[in-house]
């Protein structure tokens, strides 16, 4: 939903993240049905189900848009994955009555990492994320479906995702919703409180949470991001109660990860360069 316009008196608008969750649900269900069935002629969605709130919300939306019989939820645990994550994913599958697959990725990931035994946690996590995306695209080919993205706006703006992994699916219903808005939508959809209220984690490195790695909570980061996008200055946000350290942390991540939110940059040689000049009419 659009944020409020900047007030002439320079005072920050209240509740910049407030949404009509019921309206958002209807809009996103229609978006998925329209983009999958009408535009692409595809009736099956494939969702990587991590046990977290983002993938759970995506699964609920797909089930409403296409019917649970046309939704395939895929659990892709690694050896160090949390047992709770698997259990939470199972709760979503049971509640929706959708189709499911469980693909253990340990062998595939370790098959590569045996050649890079000194890889740190970040590199190992990136390999896991990209392996999971390989599985989703391959299963989509098998079942005649399309992989559906689960990344939210907060992660995308903060650059907190693996490039060419979390952002790879061609459709993303949550990409314009901040994390705190996803939580509101999850409650509207009836996602279990146990999933909604647990600490967000990518479940790539044992014990690591999103907010622990980012150094700020989503409850603080989301409004800062919203106000920065509206054009407010750091000083204004500080007067509104955010510390300079918080604002600078968020702004630094926002500005330093801009490249991750774009397709590969094309060296233009003609005036028909794809993604630079050539776009389908709906893209304008």
Where exactly are the structural domains of the chain?
A: 21-210
28: burial class by Cβ within 10 Å (0-12, 13-18, 19+)? Answer: buried
Query: Span 123-141, mean pLDDT?
Result: 97
pLDDT of residue 262: 84
| Position 55 pLDDT exceeds 80 | yes
Give the model's confidence band at 275: pLDDT under 50 very low, under 70 low, under 90 confident, else very high: low
Q: Are 49 and 59 in contact (CB under 8 A)?
A: yes
Instruction: Identify the three-state secondary structure at position 203.
Output: coil
Q: Are 191 and 92 in contact (CB under 8 A)?
A: yes
Structure token digits, residue 68? 């649970």
pLDDT of residue 255: 95
Please list, in sequence order, all residues whose beta carbon lies within 8 angstroms of the beta carbon of residue 88, skipping any fewer than 6 positions away: 51, 52, 56, 192, 194, 195, 198
Query: Span 52-76, mean pLDDT?
Result: 98
| Position 199 pLDDT exceeds 70 | yes
pLDDT of residue 278: 57
Q: Are 173 and 211 in contact (CB under 8 A)?
A: no
pLDDT of residue 60: 98
What CA–CA distance (Å, rounded) separates 213 from 224?
18
| Position 283 pLDDT exceeds 60 | no
pLDDT of residue 279: 57
| Position 113 pLDDT exceeds 50 | yes
pLDDT of residue 277: 65
Structure token digits, residue 120? 């740190």
User: Which residues is 45 bridged to in the sheet?
Assistant: 71, 146
Under CATH, domain 21-210 is a member of which superfamily?
A: HUPs (3.40.50.620)
| Position 134 pLDDT exceeds 90 | yes
pLDDT of residue 6: 43
| Position 284 pLDDT exceeds 50 | no
Work out the mean pLDDT of the chain and round it to a whole number.
Answer: 91
Structure token digits, residue 194? 């146990």
Query: Span 248-260, mean pLDDT?
Result: 95
pLDDT of residue 1: 39
Give the model's confidence band at 204: pLDDT under 50 very low, under 70 low, under 90 confident, else very high: low
| Position 19 pLDDT exceeds 70 | yes
Which has the minimum average pLDDT: 44-53, 152-161, 201-210, 224-233? 201-210
Structure token digits, residue 161? 């995702």
Please list, in sequence order, all residues whose beta carbon lies within 8 angstroms of the beta carbon of residue 103, skipping any fewer than 6 positions away: 74, 75, 76, 135, 139
| Position 106 pLDDT exceeds 80 | yes
134: burial class by Cβ within 10 Å (0-12, 13-18, 19+)? Answer: middle
pLDDT of residue 5: 42
DSSP string, 53-75: HHHHHHHHHHHHHH-GGGEEEEE
What CA–CA distance (Å, rounded) separates 179 from 220?
11
């Amino acid at each position: 939903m659009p944020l409020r316009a900047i007030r002439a008196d320079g005072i920050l608008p209240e509740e910049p993240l407030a949404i009509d969750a019921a309206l958002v649900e209807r809009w996103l269900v229609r978006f998925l049905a329209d983009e999958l069935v009408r535009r692409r002629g595809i009736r099956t969605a494939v969702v990587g189900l991590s046990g977290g709130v983002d993938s759970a919300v995506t699964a609920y939306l797909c089930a409403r848009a296409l019917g649970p019989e046309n939704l395939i939820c895929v659990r892709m645990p690694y050896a160090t994955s949390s047992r709770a994550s698997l259990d939470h994913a199972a709760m979503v599958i049971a509640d929706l009555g959708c189709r499911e697959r469980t693909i253990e990725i340990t062998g595939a990931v370790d098959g590569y990492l045996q050649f890079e035994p000194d890889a740190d946690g970040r590199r190992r996590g990136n390999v896991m994320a990209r392996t999971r995306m390989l599985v989703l695209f391959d299963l989509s080919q098998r079942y005649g479906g399309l992989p559906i993205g689960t990344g939210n706006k907060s992660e995308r703006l903060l650059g907190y995702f693996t490039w060419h992994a979390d952002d790879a699916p061609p459709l993303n219903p949550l990409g314009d919703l901040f994390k705190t808005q996803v939580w509101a939508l999850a409650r509207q959809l009836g996602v279990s409180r146990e999933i909604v209220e647990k600490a967000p984690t990518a479940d790539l490195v044992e014990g690591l949470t999103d907010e622990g790695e980012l150094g700020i909570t989503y409850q603080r980061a989301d409004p800062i991001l919203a106000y920065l996008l509206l054009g407010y200055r750091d000083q204004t946000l500080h007067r509104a109660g955010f510390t300079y350290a918080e604002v600078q942390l968020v702004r630094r991540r926002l500005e330093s990860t801009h490249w991750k939110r774009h397709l590969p940059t094309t060296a233009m040689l003609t005036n028909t360069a794809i993604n630079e000049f050539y776009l389908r009419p709906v893209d304008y």
